[in-house]
Structure formats: structure tokens, C-alpha cells
Amino acid sequence: MAFKHYDVVRAASPSDLAKRITQKLKEGWQPYGSALISTAGYGAEFIQPVVSEGSISSPEEPGNRPTTSAPSVAPEYYYVIALAGQSNGMSYGEGLPLPDTFDSPDPRIKQLARRSTVTPGGAACKYNDIIPADHCLHDVQDMSRLNHPKADLSKGQYGTVGQGLHIAKKLLPFIPANAGILLVPCCRGGSAFTTGADGTYSDASGASENSTRWGVDKPLYKDLIGRTKAALEKNPKNVLFAVVWMQGEFDFGGTPANHAAQFGALVDKFRADLADMAGQCVGGSAGGVPWICGDTTYFWKQKNESTYQTVYGSYKNKTEKNIHFVPFMTDENGVNVPTNKPEEDPDIPGIGYYGSKWRDSSATWTSQDRASHFSSWARRGIISDRLATAILSCAGKSSAFVNGTAGVVVPDRPVTTSESVIFYDAKKATDNQLKPYGWDGVYGRRTLVDDSGNKALRIEKNNSAKSWSMYCDIAADKAKLLLEKGGEIAVRFKIPENVNLETTRNKYAFGLYWRIAEWPGEGGEGHLSSFFVQTDKASINVAYHHTVNQQKELGTFGAFDHDWHTLAFKFKGSNSINVTPVLDGVDGQAFDLVKWANTANGLNRFVITDITGSAETYPVLIDTVEVKANKAGAAA
């Protein structure tokens, strides 16, 4: 059958399906194949493909507008869905794209542009323009050049097939008729948290295509947060609906045990960076936006079961953090979800479809390990089914969404529950001077350096046998505010790449000290902070210095590395001295501070120091340092 138009009729019951098909028949459509029943998890859904050979009439039936006809007006606003991760999150389906039928675009589904043309050789576009979405989205890695040997490029059959368009098409019947879906593609095949190259980032073009390393403030992260904000800034009515995340395979060859902490830190940073746009987030806060984390193919689980559980198992049981795992190992019958293995992606000549077997060399396939990526049909079907279902289940159960309003009212000013008591951000610095930012320092050598496109302050010993310090005075009432209302001490740091692990003894990196004049309850001087980072013969560890000769181990960042790490200490408020250490976004065991009045550091002064002048210490790169306290009106 040589047909021009393809659509899918969806209904909640057989009788409703019959009514909808009757309407389609009146418009000139014909059923194509048998009806299907989807039980992906959002209740049973009855589905009937329909096709048309000629022109069609298309009255705008609510919840069932044909994908081949333009809406009478452009969407008034968009539900924004960010797509991030690695290859299985993007267009890695090797079967022939079918843009005239199964992969047909929809005028209500758009994406943010990255490439210089909408399609290869098509209309020009600029970075972050809103353009039509199709089967091969504008991700960090450009898949538009990897054409199927049987592709007819004049029909738009370029590149490879992803699930982003299909997720959006399955959500369309559930969103208001005056709204659309705006996809924000930010995936990069072969990317990981614990291995890979950082690459570079530019506000004008995003992450470079050679960026293969995820992590807080790395180029791929900047690409994700920058493009997400750009999508929201397009229209104050736009609503961030979900982040779809599919990543983990390449951490099998890195340090799998560190994956969970780094992913958690990235989610926390993403939400913190969106705090000033909370009014445009579903649920009214960045934390209300679900992260939908997709599984991988059976190939990876069979390759290393224990590593699979370490990486992908870490996405599970995090619903309290609004992080949700979506399994893809098998379908509802226990059969492996199809991959790009040629025997799992056969030709269907009757509909002009050619499978993955035609991609028979590195010039045309996505990977020599053909089962490492989901097939085109899996992405059109079960993958997008389950991801769309999860989005609806986690983000669609609000009155604003159901009633068709554009989300919550955007506030006139950012929603903030805490205030910075002190803050240093190397990215905003112009040189190594501290005084312009309210800080000062003694001894040591300070250098403002470039680290993968970001500025960082490097501090290290000079030739003198004295410890260095960087400090900021804090008014006594700010310490009281932190204790009364709660808050946090946080620093983001790394040990530079040109420094090796000391394997013969423990070695300091830095300490955080804050001596206050009024200890809660009993009075007198004491330290709200006397924590330090130190290596042993293998790892980077955190400890609490609470008497002259005693210390308490608080946690570890794991094996010695040159990654950026975040160290924080959370205070509960209500004048409690109970503190929770947070290492790379993961809460450790809470403990009580011990009153200790060592006078080595100034009173009411926050100090970062390498602690000792009598031994060699590590140089350290500082990104940010902050002490923040909850506002007086905020809950403790």
C-alpha cells in the first residue's frame, strides 16, 4: 500500500476506539493492521494504526488530532522535556527512519536547535532556536550523518532513530490542545561520570561534540542546564515537565562505585541552579520535576551482572527524591527488548522498512556490539511507551496539568529559603585577589587558573614552611542564625591533575575552621567547623578535628582522583549541634559537634587552610565556598 499519511488512534476502551475509528473513516482514513492493546503501566490503552492514500479532512478532535495536519494556531506554551545521558537516550536505532509514516513529525512537537540546519541541507537555524522535532534530534553528538545504506535522503530518511519524538507523540493526547511539547536534546553517546574527556563549553554553541564526561559543572552539565533554562526563557508560560535520563553503560569501564554519588550530585546541582525558575517547574519547584531514569539493554547486564546492579541498581528506590527507574530489560512477556542485532531488527519490505543488517561496517553502524543499543522499533514502541507512562505517572497528576492551565503562576522574584552568609565563586573572579570579594589570605601562592573552560582558584604552599589560609570574617549574629534556623557550609574542590597521591603517609588537602564566640546552650567559644580533607595511601577522606589530638572519620570520596568534589555540612536548626556531612550529594551519618576552643584561628572568622606548615600538603583548586543560613521566615 503506497500511503501518504499515517496516524495512530488511541482510546481507553473498545467502544471508544470504535467511535474514534468511525470518525477517522469519515475523514478518509483506513485501518492499517490489527488493533493493539498497550499495558505499559498507565492503564490499558487500545491502539489502531490508520493510513490514507490521498488528501484528508482533519477536524480537531480533542485528544486525537491527526499528526499530519497542522493545528489551527501555534501552541500558546510548551511542556519542556529535557533528554540527557548517553547513546541509548538518543538516536542510536539503526533501522531505516520512516519520516512519512511511523516517524512522522507533529507540528505541536518542537526541539531546541543545535546544528546549523534543521535537517541536513535543510532550512538554516541557530543554537537554541525552536525548530520541528523529528526522528534524529539535535543532541551533542550529531547522528544526522550516519545514514542507512537503503535511505532515500530525498524523503528525509537521514541519520538514525531515537525515542524523543515518540515520547512526545504519546504525551500529546494528554496535554491541553493549546499546548505543545518542546524537547531539549542533550545526550552524548559514550559519555560517563567516571571516565571520558571533559571537552569544552560555549554559551553560543553548547558542549563540544568531543565532550564525553558528565559531572557537576562539566561541559555536558552546562549544556543541559543552559539549554533547559533557554527553553523556559522562551515563554514565561513554558513548564519544565520532566528530565529523561538514560546513562550508565560507559561507567562499567570507569569506576562504577562512584557513579551513584556523582549522579546524585548532578541532580542536586541541576535543581539548585533552577531555583530561580521554580515557578516554571511542574509542581512549583525544581524538586517537583521528576528525573525519569531509563534502563539499558540485556547486553550490558550479561556483560557484567554485578556492575550492572551497581550502576543501574542505584537509580532504584529513590522515589523520595523524585528519581524514578524505568526497566527495559524485557517486555511484558519476559522477552528481551529488541536491539540493533540484525536478527532482532528484520526487514519489512511491505512497508518499505529495512533493518539494521544493512549497516554492516563501522562506516554505517553505531557500534560493533550490535546488542548494546535498542532498535528503532523498540524506540518507537516499548521504550517511548514506558517513558511516556512514567512521565504521566510522576508529573501528570496535578490539577494544573489536568485542567489545562499553564502550570503555576511565575513569581515576581525568585523563591529563596536561605541566604548566603559568606560566598566565594572563582568563576566570577578576574584575578587571584580575594579582598574585592570580602575575603583575604596569608601565605601560600594563589593563582586563578582555567579548568576545562571554568575558572578555579589554585592555592598551594610557596617556598616558606608556613601553612596558607584564605579567610572571611563573619558577624556573630550570623552564627546564631545558622544554629537557630539551620543552614549549610559547603565547598567545591579538586586536587589538580599534576599532583600524585602520597602513598607513604596521610597528607592534608585543606581544612575548614570557624571559631565562634557563643557556643549554644553552655556559652563560651567553640568551633562550628573544624573539618578537613586528607588522603591515606589510597583514598580521599573527610574527618572532624574536635580536640588537639582526636579526630573522627566522617566519610570518604573513594579512590584518589582528580575529579571535582562537593563537601557540605548541614545544620538542623533549633540550636542543635547535630550536623550531617554530605559528600558529593550523599548524606553521611549525622553526629554531634564537640565544644573545642582551639585558638589557632581568629574568632568569628571562617578559614580555609592547609593546616600545617611542618609537612607538605596538596595544592587544591577551589570553585565555590559558601556558608548559608535559612531565612528567619523559613522552616528550620
Answer whether residue 66 is part of any domain.
Answer: no
Answer whether residue 427 is part of any domain.
Answer: yes
Average pLDDT on 3-27 reads 71
For 95, the 3-state DSSP assignment is: coil
Write the DSSP symbol of residue 338.
Answer: P
- Shared domain check, 175 and 136: yes
Cβ atoms within 10 Å of 368's Cβ, excluding its own: 8
Amino acid 533: pLDDT: 97
343 forms beta bridges with none
Confidence of residue 24 (pLDDT cuts 50, 70, 90): confident
Average pLDDT on 535-548 reads 89
Grid coordinates representing 202?
A: 560555549
CATH number (domain holding residue 583):
2.60.120.200
Amino acid 511: pLDDT: 96
Tell me the CA distances in angstroms from 204 to 24, 171, 200, 287, 452, one per residue in order: 45, 31, 12, 28, 16
Amino acid 40: pLDDT: 46
Q: Are strands 77-85 and 239-246 parallel, antiparallel or unpaired?
A: parallel
- pLDDT tens figures, 317-330: 888 899 999 999 99
Answer whether residue 99 is part of any domain.
Answer: yes
- Note whether 442 and 600 are within 8 A (CB): no
For 374, the 3-state DSSP assignment is: strand
- Shared domain check, 51 and 75: no
Amino acid 26: pLDDT: 73
- Shared domain check, 463 and 379: no
CA–CA separation, 367 vs 251, rounded Å? 17
- Shared domain check, 147 and 3: no
Q: What is the enclosing helix (H) or strand (E) of 224?
A: helix 219-233
- Shared domain check, 190 and 96: yes
- Note whether 230 and 274 are within 8 A (CB): no
CA–CA separation, 471 vs 197, rounded Å? 34
- Note whether 610 and 461 are within 8 A (CB): yes
Amino acid 402: pLDDT: 66
Average pLDDT on 382-388 reads 95
Write the DSSP symbol of residue 410.
Answer: P
Residue where a domain terminates, one of 61, 95, 112 = 61
- Note whether 485 and 448 are within 8 A (CB): no
Number of domains in the chain: 3
First to last CA, the chain: 67
Residue-wise burial string across 226-261, b where 16 or more C-beta atoms lie within 10 A, e elsewhere: bbbbbbbebbebbbbbbbbbbbbbbbbebbbebbbb
Residue where a domain terminates, one of 378, 402, 426 = 402
- pLDDT tens figures, 444-502: 999 999 887 778 999 999 877 789 999 999 999 999 999 999 999 999 999 999 999 98
- Note whether 166 and 212 are within 8 A (CB): no
- Shared domain check, 55 and 75: no
Give the dihedral sign, CA 301/304/309/314: negative
- Note whether 165 and 103 are within 8 A (CB): yes
Residue 284 pLDDT > 50: yes
CA–CA separation, 226 vs 390, rounded Å? 25
Residue 411 pLDDT > 50: no
Angle at 480 between CA 475 and CA 484, to 5 degrees: 150
- Shared domain check, 488 and 339: no
Q: Which of 50-64, 253-267, 514-528 has the lowest mean pLDDT?
A: 50-64
Give me the domain span that covers residue 41.
1-61
**Segments of 219-374 assigned E as strands:** 239-246, 291-294, 323-326
- Shared domain check, 41 and 92: no
Percent of the chain scoring above 90 in pLDDT: 67
- pLDDT tens figures, 498-533: 999 988 899 999 999 999 999 988 788 999 999 999
Answer whether residue 636 is part of any domain.
Answer: no
CB-based contacts of 242, cutoff 8 Å, min separation 6: 81, 82, 282, 289, 290, 291, 292, 391, 394, 395
Amino acid 9: pLDDT: 78
Confidence of residue 211 (pLDDT cuts 50, 70, 90): very high
Percent of the chain scoring above 70 in pLDDT: 88
Residue 86 pLDDT > 50: yes
- Shared domain check, 237 and 205: yes
- Shared domain check, 448 and 580: yes
Q: Which of 77-86, 179-188, 276-285 has the lowest mean pLDDT?
A: 276-285
Residue 71 pLDDT > 50: no
Map 607-621 to HEC letters. EEECCCCCCCCCCEE
Angle at 422 between CA 573 and CA 464, to 5 degrees: 120
Amino acid 73: pLDDT: 60
Residue 409 pLDDT > 70: no
**What is the separation of C-alpha 569 from the centre of its chain, rounded to a whole number of angstroms?**
24
CA–CA separation, 198 vs 456, rounded Å? 15
More confident site: 447 or 56: 447
Confidence of residue 549 (pLDDT cuts 50, 70, 90): confident
Mean pLDDT over the full length of the chain: 87
Tell me the CA distances in angstroms from 338 to 136, 143, 158, 437, one per residue in order: 19, 20, 22, 56
**Report field, pTM of the whole predicted structure over 0.75:** no
- pLDDT tens figures, 214-240: 999 999 999 999 999 999 999 999 999
- Shared domain check, 336 and 222: yes
Confidence of residue 192 (pLDDT cuts 50, 70, 90): very high
CB-based contacts of 520, cutoff 8 Å, min separation 6: 483, 575, 576, 577
Q: Which residue has the cell 579582598?
A: 435
- Shared domain check, 608 and 496: yes
Amino acid 42: pLDDT: 43
Answer whether residue 411 is part of any domain.
Answer: no
Residue where a domain terminates, one of 402, 432, 459 = 402
Grid coordinates representing 194?
A: 567516571
- Note whether 131 and 118 are within 8 A (CB): yes
